[in-house]
């Protein structure tokens, strides 16, 4: 787990996570944000 966290720190996608929230309209389900984060990091879990 420590290896994954240290790897994520070097990934350029990490700074984009906080920006996902504001891009989602309030009308959409809250499941959208965790789903987007999952899709961003899914390749790293393969």
pLDDT digits (tens, 9 = 90+) for 1-46: 455 555 555 555 545 555 555 555 555 555 566 777 777 777 766 6
Q: What is the pLDDT of residue 1?
A: 46
- Among 45, 17, 44, 46, CA closest to 33: 17
Cα-based angle 13, 44, 24 (whole degrees, multiple of 5): 45
The DSSP secondary structure of the chain, one letter per residue, reads -HHHHHHHHHSTTGGGHHHHHHHS-TTS-TTHHHHHHHHHHHHHH-
Whether pTM > 0.75 for this model: the answer is no
């Amino acid at each position: 787990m420590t290896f994954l966290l240290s790897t994520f720190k070097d990934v350029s996608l990490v700074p984009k996570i906080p920006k996902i929230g504001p891009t989602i309209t309030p009308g959409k389900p809250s499941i959208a944000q965790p789903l987007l984060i999952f899709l961003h990091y899914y390749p790293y879990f393969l």
